[in-house]
Amino acid sequence: MSGTAHPASASMSVEVPVIDHATDPVHAAEPPADPAALAAGWLPGPDADRMLMTLSTVSPEGVPHARTVMLSDFDGVRFSFHTDASSRKVADLAVNPRVALTILWPGFTRQLVVEGLATRASDTAAARAYARRSPYLRQLAWMNTDEVAGRPLAQREEGWARFAAEHPDPEPPAGWVGFTVAPERWLFWVSHPGAPSRRIEYTRSGAGWSARPLPG
């Protein structure tokens, strides 16, 4: 099982942002002081469709791993995602909790990269996130296993239909876990068809953040 989303199940109706480059914060002469507030203005609200993101980790051997997962939530401070406790990403995090999250908006209009430390979320928070998932993703958390993946398509389809009939409203599986990511570095990128695009980098500076523009 995994936190990986599926195109047939993840409702990705996030609209292509309309960018007013004259007023866009990333292209402004003075970037906003608070990157969390900027991210909150970009991301869908708590009742909107979840976005997909690339989660990057490093294995115990130093090998980078990347996979697409669903952004479960951004509470204004931390980003969260959920997955199977036996997955490779969780094994990576047990050795090195440093991660990178990459979120790309439709139309390649915006990109947000967050680097920080992943911390295990509470079981209560994980259960809430599971309840917000689509029926497909709730069932996928039970059936996305190595054993099932090795079966022929017909057997996987049959097993899927049987599970759905027997468990119309499944509870979270025992291995369902969540992580929150506290940002240490932010990178905001906004496209510009009529000029070189650029990024704004935020890094810790005392109790606040220091911002500087970077090439896009």
List, for residues 167-183, the tens digit of each pLDDT value: 999 999 999 999 999 99
List, for residues 30-85, the tens digit of each pLDDT value: 889 999 999 999 998 777 778 999 999 999 999 999 999 999 999 999 999 999 99
CA-based radius of gyration for the chain: 19
Using alpha carbons, select from 84, 82, 80, 89 the residue that is nearest to residue 114: 80
Rounded to an integer, the average pLDDT of 199-208 is 92
At residue 127, φ and ψ (nearest 5 deg) are: -65, -40
Fold adopted by 25-215: Pnp Oxidase; Chain A (2.30.110)
**In angstroms, rounded to a whole number, what is the distance separating the alpha carbons of residues 200 and 34?**
12
Per-residue CA distances from 198 to 9, 31, 147, 176 (Å): 33, 12, 45, 38
For the chain, what are the domain ranges? 25-215
